Amino acid sequence: MGEIKKETTKGSQLIKKGEVILAPMAGYTHSAFRRFCRRLGADRTYTELISAPGFVHRGIPKKYAYFTEEEKPIHVQLFGRTPEEIAQAAVIVAQELKPDAVDINFGCSVPKVLKTGAAGKLMETPKIMGEVVRQTVEALKPYNIPVTAKIRLGLDEDRLEEIAEQLIEGGVSAIALHPRLGVVGYAGEPDWKRIRDLKKISPVPVIGSGGVKNWRDIDRMMEETECDAVMVGRAALSNPWIFKEYKLKKDLKVSLKERLKAVYEILQMMFEYYPSPEKACFEIRSILVQFLKGFTQSREIKSYLMTVKGCEEFINRLLELIEKFS
């Protein structure tokens, strides 16, 4: 890869060296969970991927796009098929939500999304990825909002260098890399060497994503890859305390009581933006399951909380369990 543009000051102003970031995870990392992780020390958050054409045709999807000051710095993540639709959605995001950055998802490779030609499918055409970034950067200039990208190595072949070159020439301010091919999903180990390779050629900050299992791995990824920042994904779902553990540099064996209290705290925040309390009580169950992972009482607690008739009973049982466990 030849000489590419000098580092934009925006990129390094946006992401500070050593940041630990909550990864976007569809179905989990909505406002309440992001706030909870920020309170525990996550330095930055992302919304889950939101459909750009959906934004343009149906307006802001409250559940996915809602965020508060506490979640900032926050990137609103968009995915789509064409530079035009993504740039158009980004303008709506800039005008109505004013996030710290707009992130473009080029990594999602689930068949449902690939079939539409969006997100991960664009990794087959790096030039179009560059064009998506260029048009989005241009559209967001009046709002002074930078554009970042989240990528994999490629869809079914590793094209990292070509992809990076296009994104950088398009004016991206930071790149998050999950170093697996799209077609493998989550199989095998992410290839951290490729994060290091990207870091060597990228004038903009590089965020490493993939394979962090505990707080020690955060330091290990920074040392082995020299990346600017580390994203924590699945490890933060069952252990959001990983952010605090990293700051304190020690394991925190968070008790069952604390975990159930955390579920209650997150649920209270979900009531603000969920269409109904019933829906919030239903959806908190995915977070509950994650928080109980590895505890012998997990099965018993889950069946007690999941056989309730409504939200009021769910909350009463949750409070009862919080009292019961020490």
Ligand X SMILES: Cc1cc2nc3c(=O)[nH]c(=O)nc-3n(C[C@H](O)[C@H](O)[C@H](O)COP(=O)(O)O)c2cc1C
- Number of residues located near ligand X, criterion CB under 6 A: 21
Q: How far is the CB of 231 from ligand X (least distance, A)?
A: 6
Q: Which is nearer to ligand X, 155 or 321 (CB)?
A: 155
Q: Is 147 in the site for ligand X (CB under 6 A)?
A: no
Q: Which is nearer to ligand X, 118 or 318 (CB)?
A: 118
Q: Is 75 in the site for ligand X (CB under 6 A)?
A: no
Alpha carbons 87 and 131: distance in angstroms, whole number: 10
- Burial track 77-91 (b if 16+ CB lie within 10 A, e otherwise): bbbbbbbebbbbbbb
Q: What is the DSSP string of 46-110?
A: EPPPEEHHHHHHH---HHHH---GGG-SEEEEEE-SSHHHHHHHHHHHHHHT--SEEEEE-----
Q: How far is the CB of 153 from ligand X (least distance, A)?
A: 12
Active-site residue set:
108
Token pair of 113, please?
A: 């999304």
Q: How far is the CB of 119 from ligand X (least distance, A)?
A: 8
Question: Of 150, 159, 194, 244, which one interacts with ligand X (CB under 6 A)?
Answer: 150
Please say whether the dihedral angle defined by the alpha carbons of residues 296, 38, 90 and 203, taken in this order, is positive or negative: negative
Q: Is 234 in the site for ligand X (CB under 6 A)?
A: yes
Please say whether the dihedral angle defined by the alpha carbons of residues 308, 292, 267 and 23, taken in this order, is positive or negative: negative
* Nearest residue to ligand X on Cβ basis: 233
Question: Of 45, 148, 166, 209, which one interacts with ligand X (CB under 6 A)?
Answer: 209
Question: Of 120, 154, 211, 240, which one interacts with ligand X (CB under 6 A)?
Answer: 211
- Taking CB under 6 A as the binding criterion, the range among 53-61, 130-138, 228-236, 310-318 that sits at the site for ligand X is 228-236
| Chain positions contacting ligand X, by CB under 6 A | 23-27, 48-49, 77, 105, 107-108, 150, 178, 209-212, 232-235
